[in-house]
Structure 1
Amino acid sequence: MTHCFVLDAQGRKLSPTKEKRAWYLIRKQKAILKCKFPMVIQLVREVPEEEIDTTPIHLGIDDGSKLAGIALVQECGTENKPVFKGTIELRIDVKEKLAVRRGHRRYRRQHKKYRPARFDNRSSSRKEGRIPPSIRQKKDSVLRVVRQLTKWVRIDQIFLEDVLIDNRALEKGYKPYRWEYQQRNRLDENIRKAAILRDRNTCQDCGATNTRMEVHHITPRRLHGSDSIHNLITLCSKCHEKIAGEELLHSQRFYQKIKGKSISFRDAMHVMQGKTYLQKALREIAPLNLTTGGDTANKRIDWDIEKTHANDSIVICNLRVNPEQCEMKDWVIKPMKKRSSKKIKSANGIYHRDFVRYTKRNGESYIAYITALYPERNQCNMTTIDGKVLKRYGLSRLSLLWRFNRIYWLINSNEGGESW
């Protein structure tokens, strides 16, 4: 079942309807198509206030570090119905891009004469409540999608899964004292001694005892290895020096010896950071209700719903639905940068970032969006919705599906049928 958002002639938001019904209204010239992905129609007549359906519509958000689920469920008298679900793909390359930009900036400054060192005098990096750009852009991506949906459909309540993770307890392997939370987040002497005592002051590689012992990160910190005791092993200085730069080649062997495992807290920390900023912004849109991951998991199991980010967001809406109703169109949502750095914006009627279909001579076709244009050779580069990069394809075989408008709304290719 696929639903369509509906507006009246005055732009007032009505209850969603089925897509088949929407196309029928367009054919009968009772409505016009406002947006195709996702489908939004506007009626040619104004609907009286007393005829407008006011049944509540809940918005559920399953926040994450790489993917975030979002869904709309309408509360009905007989049976609640999901009207929209999707998965937001969050950018994970911002930190690396900022590091490259910082390197260019420092290189340029070092090659200028008579410039004193600036150190930490940037006001934006010292202001209270500042969120790192790599974290804030993820929260802003979720807010951009929510604000776009509010233009098409009314949202009476928002339900957000509140993440409550004690990162320090996970990292240390025990519940820290209150004063330990105020200490810097690095490997301390207690965990170092605990690892050496666990290994009985013996090198776990060569078995040496009467020598200087060192504590080694099995998964190194540069690869986001934690300071947990489950990621530490005791080695002598010679063995420690021998495996430098080749840690991953020995990781499985070391994990088996200490019965430990690789634990990364990066995703948990990214979800925890900035959640107050996200909650404050959502409260300005609609009343906000917080739930927990345990409640979501229990309801999903009780309702016999498959676990995905989009389905979890349906469950978070706190309105019971049938599992069959969750088998609907699953949108892949990609909020893009507002500004494009491409110098060539259009060629042969095709614009950069346009959503197109490329048809080959054998009849095979690709659904993709334009990433580069070469007007001198009438060619382009594309990226398919599956992530495949196509370079130097001819513009003559392209057909425009929809003009890009800051957010890509793509159908999950795993859903079957036509993918765009």
Structure 2
Amino acid sequence: MTHCFVLDAQGNKLSPTRENRAWYLIRKQRATLKRKFPMVIQLKREIPESEIDSSSIQLGIDDGSKLVGIALVQECKAKNKPVFKGTIELRTDIKEKIAVRRGYRRYRRQHKKYRPARFDNRSSSKREGRIPPSVKHKKDSILRVINQLHKWIRIDRIFLEDVLIDIRALEKGYKPYKWEYQKSSRLDENIRKAVVLRDHNTCQDCGITNTRMEVHHITPRRLNGSDSIHNLITLCSTCHGKVTGNELNHCKRFYQKVKGRKILFSDAMHVMQGKTYLQNELKEISPISLTTGGDTANKRIDWGLEKTHANDAIVICHSIVWPEQCEIKNWVIKPMRKHSNKKIESVNGFHHRDFVKYTKRNKERYLAYITALYPEKNQCNLTTIEGKILKRYGLSRLTLLWRFNKIYWL
């Protein structure tokens, strides 16, 4: 089952209806189609305020680092019903792209005439309360989707799962004492000395002691290895050179020698660092209430729901729903980059990022969006909604489903 958002002639937000009912109103010329994915219609008459359904509509958000579940639940007189659920796929390449841009800028600066350093003039990098761009972009992507939904439907209250992750406990492997939280978890310049002292100034691979020791990241930094002492080992320069570039083949035995472990903080840190910013921005949209992950898990188990981000978002809304009502379309939502690297504007009426259907000769069909256009042979590259990449497919077998506009709703 899929629901449709409804607006009246003046743009007032009405209660959602079923898609088949919306198509009936369009056929009877009582409404016009404003958007197909997700479906939004606008009635041709104005609805008096006294006739507008005032039932509360709640938004649930299951925050995450890579995937975010959202759901809209309408509180009705008979029984509550979910009218929308989806999973937002967040981008994870922001840090790498910023690093590439930084390299381009430094190269350009070094090859120009002398100009004074600009770092101290950049107030944005020194302002109080600043969060990393990679974290801020993820939270802004969530807000983009919610603001878009808010244009089509009322949101009377927002329920957000408050993420509580103890980063220090993840690092140490146990719940630290209160006084341990006051000590820095980053030894910085002294971390090398701490590792060498722990390993008794001995190479943990060949056992040599009468040489200068080097500290090696067991899981390398390029693979998100941490600077924790649990991820470092002492090696001589010869052994260090042998394992460099081939670290993953030595991880297991090195971790066993130092009794360390692979620790990935990035996902937990991204959620924790950006949650205050997200909460403050959501308060500008509607009143917000916080819930806990334990309550969400218990309710989901009691209701017999499958564990997904979208189902968790339904449970987060403090509204009792029937499990069979949760079996509605789960939208995959992809907020896309505003900047596009396209070189061709359009070919045969198809544009970059258009959502299309490709029909093969054996009647097999793909739902995909266009990622590249080749006008010389009337071909294109496609990426299906499952993530499969199709290269050099002919445009003659494409059917345009919807023109892209900032966010993919699949």
Q: Aligned Cα RMSD in Å?
A: 2.8
1:131-175 deviation digits (Å, cap 9, x = unpaired): 222111111110010001011111100011112222233223452
Shift of 1:380: 2.0
2:51 corresponds to which letter in structure 1?
E
Q: Does 1:9 align with 2:9?
A: yes
1:101 corresponds to which letter in structure 2?
R
Q: How far apart, CA to CA, are the structure 2 residues paired with 1:5 and 1:119?
A: 48
Match of 2:244 in 1: 244
1:274 corresponds to which letter in structure 2?
G
Q: How far apart, CA to CA, are the structure 2 residues paired with 1:182 and 1:11?
A: 56
Check 1:347–1:238 CA distance in 2 against 1; reply closer, same or farther (3 A cut): closer
Q: How far apart, CA to CA, are the structure 1 residues paired with 2:83 and 2:259?
A: 47
Q: How far apart, CA to CA, are the structure 2 residues paired with 1:341 and 1:190?
A: 42
Match of 2:128 in 1: 128
Could you state the TM-score of these two structures normalised by the residue count of structure 2?
Answer: 0.89
1:163-218 deviation digits (Å, cap 9, x = unpaired): 22222332234526558557473468699869976x89986655779998876543
Taking the TM superposition and a 5 Å limit, the aligned residue runs for 1:49-198 are: 49-174=49-174, 175=176, 181=182, 183=184, 185-186=186-187
Check 1:78–1:233 CA distance in 2 against 1; reply closer, same or farther (3 A cut): farther
Match of 1:390 in 2: 390
Q: State the SS of the aligned residue for 2:144.
A: helix
Whether the 8 Å CA contact 1:173–1:229 is kept in 2: the answer is no
Q: How far apart, CA to CA, are the structure 2 residues paired with 1:316 and 1:262?
A: 32
Q: State the SS of the aligned residue for 2:91.
A: coil
1:111 corresponds to which letter in structure 2?
H
Q: How far apart, CA to CA, are the structure 2 residues paired with 1:388 and 1:118?
A: 44
Shift of 1:236: 6.8
Identity %: 75
Check 1:292–1:265 CA distance in 2 against 1; reply closer, same or farther (3 A cut): same
Whether the 8 Å CA contact 1:55–1:76 is kept in 2: the answer is yes
Whether the 8 Å CA contact 1:155–1:286 is kept in 2: the answer is yes
Q: How far apart, CA to CA, are the structure 2 residues paired with 1:176 and 1:185?
A: 17
Deviates more, 1:148-157 or 1:360-369: 360-369
1:112-147 deviation digits (Å, cap 9, x = unpaired): 123334344322211222222211111111001000
Query: Which structure 2 segments of 5+ residues have no match?
Result: none
Shift of 1:351: 1.7
Q: State the SS of the aligned residue for 2:168.
A: helix
Q: How far apart, CA to CA, are the structure 2 residues paired with 1:379 and 1:204?
A: 56
Check 1:229–1:132 CA distance in 2 against 1; reply closer, same or farther (3 A cut): closer
Whether the 8 Å CA contact 1:172–1:228 is kept in 2: the answer is no
1:358-392 deviation digits (Å, cap 9, x = unpaired): 22223222211122223333222222112222222
Shift of 1:70: 0.7
Check 1:23–1:339 CA distance in 2 against 1; reply closer, same or farther (3 A cut): same
1:156 corresponds to which letter in structure 2?
D
2:274 corresponds to which letter in structure 1?
G
Whether the 8 Å CA contact 2:26–2:33 is kept in 1: the answer is yes
Query: Which structure 1 segments of 5+ residues have no match?
Result: 411-420
Q: How far apart, CA to CA, are the structure 2 residues paired with 1:61 and 1:294?
A: 15
Q: Does 1:273 align with 2:273?
A: yes
Check 1:166–1:195 CA distance in 2 against 1; reply closer, same or farther (3 A cut): farther
Check 1:182–1:145 CA distance in 2 against 1; reply closer, same or farther (3 A cut): farther
Q: State the SS of the aligned residue for 2:250.
A: helix
Check 1:244–1:90 CA distance in 2 against 1; reply closer, same or farther (3 A cut): same
Deviates more, 1:166-175 or 1:147-156: 166-175
Whether the 8 Å CA contact 1:59–1:72 is kept in 2: the answer is yes
Q: Does 1:404 align with 2:404?
A: yes
